[in-house]
Amino acid sequence: MTIGWDLLWFIVAVSLLVTVHEYGHYWVARRFGFKVLRFSIGFGKPLFKRVYGEDKTEFVIAAIPLGGYVKMLDEREGPVAPAGLARSFTRKPPWQRILVLLAGPAFNIIFAILVLWGMLWNQGVIQEVRPVVGDVVVASVADRAGLRSGDEVLSID
């Protein structure tokens, strides 16, 4: 049963990281005026699909939860109506396209920092591990060397 739970939590963790990553691409693309056609978590057949916004962006959760993608309007995939050309990925300046591509990893880094900060805030400063001798067995090498339970190791020579 443990393998089933491990697999479930692995899928949850990967899906969360993929969602944060893809949302980074999506958020920056929308800020620069790119037309986003689909925001998908997972690959393959859609299990859940909703259309939102004036751009009619599809939000999809798909069957294979090991990745995701943000599909933007792109002339390389087919003809684009003249009214949509200005919002096409290929018509935007290279610096905007680069920022959209870098946004996914940047959001993952920011997310990791926030999670670690939250863990520290919640748990407080964790005491560091000190090198203290535990139980010393009688007539052992440690006993013959003079070590006693509770001694702190200050240096090794």
Contact yes or no for 149/133 (Cβ under 8 A): yes
Distance CA 106, CA 79 (A): 32
Which residues partner with 132 through β-bridges? 152
- Tell me the catalytic residues: 22
Residue 23 is which amino acid?
A: Y
Exposed, middle or buried by CB within 10 Å (0-12, 13-18, 19+), for 139?
exposed
Three-state DSSP state, 13: helix
